Amino acid sequence: MKIGEAATRSGLSVKTIRYYESIGLISPSERADNGYREYSPIQVDTLHFLQRARATGFSVEECRQLLDLYRNEGRHSAHVKNLVLEKVAQLDQQLQELQAMRGTLMDMADRCAGNEGPSCAIIDQLADSSEGAAP
């Protein structure tokens, strides 16, 4: 099938498929006599696998590891589980950081009068070079 149909079936854009091919994440497609890329059902399954992995938050390099495991029938599920648990730990860290950012933003909003006057505690706090400066 042509790249457009592969894109539709996999849920990826044509540009993304070309990118994955260029970085070796998927094998190069065959070229028809007219020069168009032709994708096999196995390649489309791989693309769909990548789409789901990326939608779950895995990086390109993590997807490379997952693909290696996907293709390896002798894999150990414990290794796959460990990769997922590592991703969960990363997400937990990101959630903590986002909660801290949210708290900072809410504190800033609480300090601002939010009226028609020019004085703004948010601008003052962002402009204060003593906050967050290196010692």
The more confident residue out of 35 and 39 is 39
The pLDDT, as a whole number, for residue 110 is 94
What percent of the chain shows pLDDT beyond 90?
78
Instruction: State the pLDDT at residue 135.
Output: 43
Q: Do 41 and 87 sit in the same domain of this protein? A: no
Question: pTM of the prediction?
Answer: 0.76
Rounded distance between C-alpha atoms, residue 127 and residue 22, angstroms:
44
In a domain, 109, yes or no: yes
Residues 96 and 42 in one domain: no
Let me know whether 10 and 52 are in one domain.
yes
For 91-95, what is the mean pLDDT?
A: 97
In this prediction, residue 132 has a pLDDT band, given cuts at 50, 70 and 90, of low
Average pLDDT over residues 38-52: 94
Burial of 120 (0-12, 13-18, 19+ CB in 10 A): middle
Q: For residue 63, is it within any domain?
A: no
Residue 66 counted as domain residue: no
Category of 36 on φ-ψ map: left (φ > 0), alpha (ψ -120 to 50) or beta = beta
Least confident among 7-21, 78-92, 121-135 = 121-135
Lowest-pLDDT range of 25-29, 39-43, 53-57, 74-78: 25-29
Q: Which domain holds residue 41?
A: 1-58
Domain containing 48 — which CATH number?
Answer: 1.10.1660.10
- At 134 the pLDDT is 47
Domain end, chosen from 58, 90, 107, is at: 58
Instruction: Note whether residue 68 is domain-resident.
Output: no
Q: How far apart, in whole angstroms, are the C-alpha atoms of residue 54 and residue 61?
A: 10
Domain count, the chain: 2
- Position 67 in a domain: no
Q: What is the rounded average pLDDT for all residues in the chain?
A: 91
Q: Is residue 69 part of a domain?
A: no
